[in-house]
Amino acid sequence: MASTKYVYDFDEGDAGMKKLLGGKGSNLAEMTRLGLPVPPGFTITTEACNHYYREGAYPEGLEAEIDEHLERLERKMGKKLGDKNDPLLVSVRSGAAISMPGMMDTVLNLGLNDDSVRGLANQTGDERFAYDAYRRFIQMFSDIVMGVERNRFERELEKKKEERGVALDVELTAEDWKDLVEKFKDIVRKETGRDFPSDPREQLDLAIQAVFKSWGNPRAVTYRKQYDIPHDLGTAVNVQTMVFGNKGDDSATGVCFTRNPSTGEAKRFGEYLVNAQGEDVVAGIRTPKSLDELAEEMPALYGQLTQVMEKLEKHYRDMQDIEFTIEQGKLFMLQTRTGKRTAAAALKIAVDMVESGLIDKEEAVRRIQPDQLDQLLHPRLDPDERYEVIAKGLPASPGAAVGEVVFDADTAEMRGSRGEKVILVRWETTPDDIHGIIAAQGVLTSHGGMTSHAAVVARGMGKPCICGAEAVKINQAERIFEVNGLVVREGETITIDGTSGKVILGEVKLIEPKVDENLEKVLSWADEIRRLGVRTNADTPEDAQRARDFGAEGIGLCRIEHMLIGEDRLPIVRRMILAEDEEKREEALMELEPLLRRDFEEILEIMDGLPVTIRLLDPPLHEFLPNLVDLRVELERLKHVPGEREEYEEKEKLLARVRAESEANPMLGLRGCRVGCTMGGVTEMQVRAIIKAACDLKKKGKDPRVEIMIPLVAFRKELELEREKAVEVTEGVIEAMQTRLEYLVGTMIELPRAALTADQIGEVADFFSFGTNDLTQTTLGFSRDDAEAKFLPMYLENGILTDNPFQTLDVEGVGKLVRMACELGREANPAIKLGICGEHGGDPRSIRFCHQVGLNYVSCSPFRVPVARLAAAHAALGDVQDATK
């Protein structure tokens, strides 16, 4: 029986074996295959690691295989591990299939002991070098394999330098190093209770196991969580012949990129240190030289290196990040991998490579991660700046902003109108604060979650916002906030980063967003590839225009409630809600109609020729009323103030009405279509305003495309009744205005029951739009505000959840309902249009799901439109890959 092969010589593998040999191992094999100067060695597979991780021991046969490959390596090099005359030294490095830089462990110079160090000294004729290497090995091995604290050795080294009156390592002599080697061995003995292992074969085994184990070290686990890397990939182990960049001034070690990783400029870029080992580069003690200097100092080697770089980039068809060592005038390649880059660089490189014919458009699209674009689309903190974070909150709306602290909306408006930059800081915001939010650069609240008023409004406006920064204690009366003892007064400058939730005292330099031509090009290629339409969620002409500029193909969600909270409207809305009879209500509705009509006309005009889905009033009505608690407190206060009898009585009456409207669980209360189904005239007024606006435009020769959306439907009959009303009003207006208009009436699918009975509902809907925010809330039983403030963070920490389900669609639960609703809806009505307008519509992984279930479009906030265009293309490319598997 052929047993599993766990070890591959570099000349046995290739770049296609990444999963088995890891990134580093497969690329070393590939470079070997390409005939590049790679120090020989072998790779122990990720499967061996996984076995070790599972069973706590080597798999059967691995030890023998290592022996065999080691022997072959010794034969090839003509050296033996631990040999006292001419010892083979090796490095032992981790290397997973997906790069996790710096997360796992490496041991260099392995094979040295009291005997072989003398062999190394003889062979190199450099005793100082040999003992320096030996002490480095002890130091590194003891730290990584034996768990001895690194700075125990560093202290001994410092002591020695002091004793010898020197400042630099290079000033120490061979004798000094010899002495330190002994001292280091003492430390190991004292700390671990055992001698430093002198058998090189034992050293090798211990090092290999240490690398295996490092797969599970906490920082590696955290890293994998953060970057969504599966925990069962395992790492490979690369055992490679040592070459030395520290064998004198004809030796060097360095790192280079085939293009500039910051800007994408098509110019080689790299750094090296003369007479140094790789770890010295990483340690950043000496200032490295640039590649241009190499061209001057070692022109022949520079020539070789650039040839290799060119060869590698062409071979891999991507920008490479390369490690090399020059040992006494001879070039060795130690690593190549696809280089990490900024979003801007990624775009430029992709476009350049398409233009030079190196890759095709699909490949270019595939190489840009949609989420990367986010950094280009909002102002962001300059990464070169240093700053101190004084508090953290929920990243409620992305982007960074700088401004002076103000504590109320009126001050914000007043100062904002003078052109001053302010940040509005509130416990939480209400519709009364809207003019302040508009005037501010950004919003910071100490309360509320990702769907709090501030968060929703700010996201809609594309304004940075941090919510629920609980450490920020606001004292409204004294116009200060305190955070961990620090007092910040009104007028002091702060910076907020809504992308990360960081609050910073003082001004941090920001980088402004730009959509450059590279992005335009890549997005246009993405448009050729994607099948999903991309619309936007927009409630204002500004948002609509911005989204159209970003390439939105219509509006998927235009929320009327956001048009009702202006100072000129809220009082009318309140009168409408609190009306004592039908007549008074009708009066208020009549006042609202022309205001809404104007709003709709503006938005429809901007979106001329593109569909605009307008959702009828959705939130519970009490959201438009004064706060119940505030009212009760105010009443208590008035009790103690003499002579306010009249005001008291008026407020008391108001309280009774507000109390009657208040609800235990507003999310699940009288809202959505339930308002229209139980309160006459409200639906009719909204539809009238919409259709009149559309007919106005039609008469001006425009092409308005209205889709009326009924929210929160659970029962077919609800939609039927609301649809009947809408159609009746619409036909009436069209007739009265003597024009023609095509329009659709559909519904949001945002309740599990709607999804489960989508066959019934589909019979009376022209379209479904999945409201996955509410659908997630009801399917999971998670109130978003409460969950994000209370238990979601811990759920993510302890692994109950891998993602925030409000950011990335819960495919197993919510997704099952979406899929079911798509199937049932299409069965009932094959012509039905299907879209999504929850925040998931801007999340790349969720977009992939939308593509897979066959939605017609996604809709997202204006700033996410480019992200969604790209993600939709990625989803389509995924299909191609799946189909060719």
Which residues are known catalytic residues? 453, 837
CB of 248 or CB of 666, closer to its own copies: 666
**Alpha-carbon dihedral 821, 827, 828, 829, rounded to 10 degrees:** 100
**373, amino acid identity:** L
At residue 480, what are phi and psi to the nearest 5 degrees? -140, 160
Name the DSSP letter for residue 766. S
Structure tokens at 463: 């304004």
Q: Report whether 255 contacts 339 (CB < 8 A).
A: no
SS3 assignment, position 559: strand
Distance CA(574)–CA(552), nearest Å, equals 34
Beta strands 90-96 and 80-81 are: unpaired
Residue with tokens 């519709």: 431
Q: Report whether 566 contacts 547 (CB < 8 A).
A: no
CB of 42 or CB of 782, closer to its own copies: 782
Beta strands 400-406 and 422-426 are: parallel
Name beta bridge partners: 406: 424
Structure tokens at 614: 């307008």
CB of residue 514 vs its own copies: minimum separation in angstroms? 38
Name the DSSP letter for residue 489. E
Beta strands 833-836 and 857-860 are: parallel
CB of residue 557 vs its own copies: minimum separation in angstroms? 18
Q: Report whether 102 contacts 94 (CB < 8 A).
A: no
Structure tokens at 388: 């101190």
SS3 assignment, position 101: coil
Distance CA(549)–CA(543), nearest Å, equals 10
Q: Report whether 109 contacts 133 (CB < 8 A).
A: yes
CB of residue 659 vs its own copies: minimum separation in angstroms? 9
Beta strands 389-392 and 394-397 are: unpaired
CB of residue 743 vs its own copies: minimum separation in angstroms? 24
CB of 64 or CB of 794, closer to its own copies: 794
CB of 148 or CB of 754, closer to its own copies: 754
CB of 296 or CB of 812, closer to its own copies: 812
Structure tokens at 852: 């897979």
Name beta bridge partners: 402: 495
CB of 248 or CB of 669, closer to its own copies: 669
Distance CA(496)–CA(727), nearest Å, equals 47
CB of residue 490 vs its own copies: minimum separation in angstroms? 23
Task: Give exposure, 55-80, as e/b (b: 16+ Cβ within 10 Å).
Answer: eeebbeebeebbeebbeebeeebebb
CB of residue 794 vs its own copies: minimum separation in angstroms? 5
Residue with tokens 């046969």: 61
Which residues 6+ apart lie within 8 Å of 64 measured at CB?
none
Name beta bridge partners: 860: 536
CB of 37 or CB of 752, closer to its own copies: 752
CB of 106 or CB of 777, closer to its own copies: 777
CB of residue 859 vs its own copies: minimum separation in angstroms? 21
| Alpha helix segments (H runs only) across 193-333 | 200-214, 218-226, 278-283, 291-297, 299-316
Distance CA(79)–CA(83), nearest Å, equals 7
Q: Report whether 24 contacts 44 (CB < 8 A).
A: no
CB of residue 832 vs its own copies: minimum separation in angstroms? 20
CB of 403 or CB of 468, closer to its own copies: 468
CB of 628 or CB of 741, closer to its own copies: 628
The 3 state secondary structure assigned to 513-542 is CCCCHHHHHHHHHHHHHCCCEEEEECCCHH
Name the DSSP letter for residue 388. -
CB of 61 or CB of 666, closer to its own copies: 666
CB of 626 or CB of 752, closer to its own copies: 752
- Residues near its own copies (CB under 8 A) are 628-629, 632-633, 635-637, 639-640, 663-670, 674, 677-678, 712, 714-715, 717-718, 721, 750-753, 756-757, 760, 774, 777-783, 785-787, 790-791, 794-795, 798-801, 810, 812-814, 816-817
Could you tell me which of 389, 402, 387, 390 has the C-alpha nearest to residue 482? 390
CB of residue 666 vs its own copies: minimum separation in angstroms? 7
Name the DSSP letter for residue 427. S
Residue 712 backbone class (left: φ over 0; alpha: ψ -120 to 50; beta: rest): left
CB of residue 443 vs its own copies: minimum separation in angstroms? 18
CB of residue 541 vs its own copies: minimum separation in angstroms? 31
**How many whole angstroms from its chain centre is CA 857?**
23
Structure tokens at 347: 């775009």
CB of residue 802 vs its own copies: minimum separation in angstroms? 10
Which residues 6+ apart lie within 8 Å of 562 measured at CB?
457, 460, 539, 540
CB of residue 809 vs its own copies: minimum separation in angstroms? 12
CB of 468 or CB of 611, closer to its own copies: 468
Which residues 6+ apart lie within 8 Å of 818 measured at CB?
749, 755, 770, 772, 775, 809, 836, 849, 853
Could you tell me which of 368, 497, 515, 485 has the C-alpha nearest to residue 443? 497
